[in-house]
Amino acid sequence: MHAETRILSPDTCEARTHAALQAAAQAGARGGIVRLREERALAQARAVDRDGARTQLASRLSGAPLAHKDMFFRAGELSECGSRILAGHRPAITATVLERLDNAGAIDLGALHMAEFAMSPTGFNAHLGHGRNAWSEAHVSGGSSSGSGIAVALGVVAGALGSDTGGSVRIPAAVNGVTGIKPTQDAISTFGVMPLSPSLDCVGVLARTAQDAAAMLQAIWNGDANDPRCLATGPRDFEGAVERPLDREDIIAVPDFGDDAPVSDELRAAVLRMADALAGCGATLRRVALPDLREAGALATLVLGAEAGSIHGTWLRERRADYGEQVLRRLERGLLYPATRYVDALRMRARCMTQFVERYLGDAQALLLPTLPCAVPTIDETLTGDASEIERRFGNFSYWTRGINYFGLPGVSVPVGKTANGMPAGVQIIGRAWSEDVLLRLAHQMQLHSDWHQPSLLARDHAG
């Protein structure tokens, strides 16, 4: 008996999802793909076709092809967190954020490349191989949400979830030329998400535009009975908020860069281009001193190390050989931090955040900072030298992002042109706690009047 042949209308979600799966399969590892979930994705698409017209599935995300960092658990599906430790792991729970995207009608195509246990800002993974930048395979992809940045930049998916503990959404967004938002600490449920450092972990979103990021953030934003740390108390209208034009009352703090600032001339110029673009949209610029993020970054490193060492303690004793060398060194160092230093770092956190906001934002709505200290490096450049030199370089790479996690503040990284090596340049918009609507509005209004985020800039349009 012959199997039934179905001819799908190109206008159906099922047909579009089938095409997206084919494109993702063709892109494979180059597109940031770890594994596809074809049957589930097509079943979701058929549900959208069947129910979308009469349910909440008729949303902006309805039928949107997404894929997510391989640390967001889906019951019964492989979730390996870029590691050898969790090879073959099939969780019994589904992450709250995945369930919420499902309810919005988004299609989950599968899992994306990530640094081992989310512990590399460059996208390095000793088991899966390096993340490869969407613009150039020789350059780093950024991490730890490497596949999320790659897949969105190459157009394999419309958006992706990532996690941000020290810059792991904003860095791959900047490196691959897309938009990435890290929300306020504990705003989004982390239930069903593999932890790294619960005091710093944030679920974030990567998308082509701030408008698309707003739609995804809106879908996952709400309280969660399964996550007592989640502080969101109800839904937010991020999509509506981004539409209001800027005016003189929108005050943006722009730092004065001294000669010894830990940022290259190219990235300094990118921040000033961003400032000029926002001023052109109607915002008022205000000069402020350049923040010194060394202490906040060191405190974030201490908190991350202590918490990650605790989470991995049993595996470190029983399965030490299954870690990559870089990750193993960082985890074992976390076991050496005195408890008093860890407690002091947490105790100082609120005061440090208040001082940062008062000094550098003042009466401004947002502060502009580089996302990276330099142009996107090649993979080889990040791996030269001994282990201590490589780790120092890793630390410098996240200088402008790591301290923001310690403060618990939201930030959006947006593409702002290119550097001389042809790679994207990203700039962060940092705001007060719970100001995600403001940051996305600033980013969206700028993107309405610029083309730095447009697909024509993608490497795939120029690569052979």
The 3-state secondary structure of 67-119, one letter per residue: EEECCECCCCCCCCCCCCCCCCCCCCCCCHHHHHHHHCCCEEEEEECCCHHHC
- pTM of the prediction? 0.95
Whether the per-residue pLDDT at 461 is higher than 50: the answer is no
Percent of the chain topping pLDDT 70: 94
What is the reported pLDDT for 55? 53
**What is the band of 455 on the pLDDT scale with cuts at 50, 70, 90?**
low
Rounded to whole angstroms, the Cα distance separating 263 from 257 reads 9
Mean pLDDT along residues 48-57:
68
Evaluate whether residue 9 is within a structural domain. Answer: no
CA distances from 247 to 244, 279, 410, 432 (A): 9, 9, 22, 19
What is the reported pLDDT for 385? 86
- Tell me whether residue 62 is one of the annotated catalytic residues: no
Among the options 59, 69, 413, 435, which is catalytic? 69
Q: Go through the chain and tell me how many residues it has.
A: 464
What is the reported pLDDT for 418? 96
What is the reported pLDDT for 301? 97
CA distances from 55 to 47, 214, 224, 376 (A): 11, 21, 22, 44
What is the reported pLDDT for 448? 96
Evaluate whether residue 2 is within a structural domain. Answer: no
**Residue 378: DSSP 8-state:** B
Rounded to whole angstroms, the Cα distance separating 49 from 42 reads 10
What is the reported pLDDT for 27? 96
**What is the band of 9 on the pLDDT scale with cuts at 50, 70, 90?**
low
Evaluate whether residue 57 is within a structural domain. Answer: yes
Query: Per the structure, how many domains does the chain have?
Result: 1
**What is the band of 393 on the pLDDT scale with cuts at 50, 70, 90?**
confident
Evaluate whether residue 5 is within a structural domain. Answer: no
**What is the band of 4 on the pLDDT scale with cuts at 50, 70, 90?**
very low
Whether the per-residue pLDDT at 2 is higher than 90: the answer is no
What is the reported pLDDT for 53? 56
Among the options 83, 148, 168, 450, which is catalytic? 168
Whether the per-residue pLDDT at 370 is higher than 70: the answer is yes
What is the reported pLDDT for 52? 67
Phi first, then psi, for residue 89 (nearest 5°) are -70, 125
Tell which wins on pLDDT, 393 or 412.
412
Residue 447's CATH number: 3.90.1300.10
- Tell me whether residue 413 is one of the annotated catalytic residues: no
**What is the band of 18 on the pLDDT scale with cuts at 50, 70, 90?**
very high
CA distances from 325 to 44, 88, 383, 409 (A): 39, 21, 13, 31
- Tell me whether residue 182 is one of the annotated catalytic residues: no
CA distances from 392 to 185, 293, 370, 389 (A): 26, 15, 19, 5
Evaluate whether residue 309 is within a structural domain. Answer: yes
Evaluate whether residue 185 is within a structural domain. Answer: yes
Among the options 144, 145, 199, 413, which is catalytic? 144
Evaluate whether residue 10 is within a structural domain. Answer: no
Tens-place pLDDT, residues 282-303:
999 999 999 999 999 999 999 9
**Full domain range(s) for residue 247:** 19-461
What is the reported pLDDT for 56? 47
Evaluate whether residue 14 is within a structural domain. Answer: no
Of the candidates 275, 278, 217, the one whose C-alpha atom is nearest the C-alpha of residue 437 is 217
